Structure 1
Amino acid sequence: MPTLTDIGTLIVCTTGTCGGRPRIAGTRITVQYIINEIRAGVTPEEILKNKPHLTLGGIYAAIAYYYANKELLDVEFAAYDQECDRLEADYLAGRRS
């Protein structure tokens, strides 16, 4: 007989893994990655096809987690993107020198 999964166990945050950002439990796939894919027009089923180690439950949990925490996560995502842009600019500036 199948067992029920507590949805609260599907998304975790672990210090030292993926920068402590929320991710699908048992993976290094962050909520931010899932949301970026969804925003790019990729469906949950297509994400699953490209990353078969995930589950639809985990993907949809990431989407639900995002919308339940949208305001805070939008700020965190923007800060992460800014840091990536800064690091890329620093790297490119160093290459040109």
Structure 2
Amino acid sequence: MQTITDIGTLIVRTPGTCGGRPRIAGTRITVQYIINEIKAGITPEEIVQDKPFLSLAGIFSALAYYYANKALLDAEFVADDEECRRLEAEFKVGHIS
């Protein structure tokens, strides 16, 4: 007999893992990664094909988590992207600390 999964357990935030970003439990796949893939036109089924250790439940939980927290996560995603661009620019000129 199959057990019921509490969907609240499928997305976690752990300080020190993936920078504390929300991720699919038991993986290092962040909600941001899933959202970027979906925005790029990749379907949840294609994500599972590429990463068979993921489940559709985990992917759809990541999507639900995102849409339930969209404003906050969009701001975090923008800040992450800006930090990446800043670090890349510093690296290119040899001034990374």
Fold-level similarity (TM above 0.5): yes
Distance 1:85 1:41 in 2: 23
Amino acid at match of 2:14: T
Alignment of 1:26-45 (within 5 A): 26-45=26-45
The aligned residue for residue 90 of structure 1 is: 90
Deviation of 1:20 after TM superposition, in Å, equals 0.2
Deviation of 1:93 after TM superposition, in Å, equals 1.1
The aligned residue for residue 68 of structure 1 is: 68
TM-score by length of 1: 0.96
1:57 equivalent in alignment to 2:88: no
Aligned residues: 95
Say what the alpha-carbon RMSD is for the aligned residues.
0.9
Q: Which runs of 4+ in 1 moved over 4 A?
A: none
Report Cα offsets for 1:55-96 as digits up to 9, x if no partner: 00000000000000000000000000000000001011118x
TM-score by length of 2: 0.96
Unaligned runs of at least 5 residues, structure 1: none
Distance 1:89 1:40 in 2: 25
Distance 1:66 1:40 in 2: 16
Distance 1:56 1:86 in 2: 34
Identity %: 73
Unaligned runs of at least 5 residues, structure 2: none
| Secondary structure class of the residue paired with 2:66 | helix
Amino acid at match of 1:32: Q
Greater share of helix: 1
Amino acid at match of 1:66: Y
Amino acid at match of 1:8: G
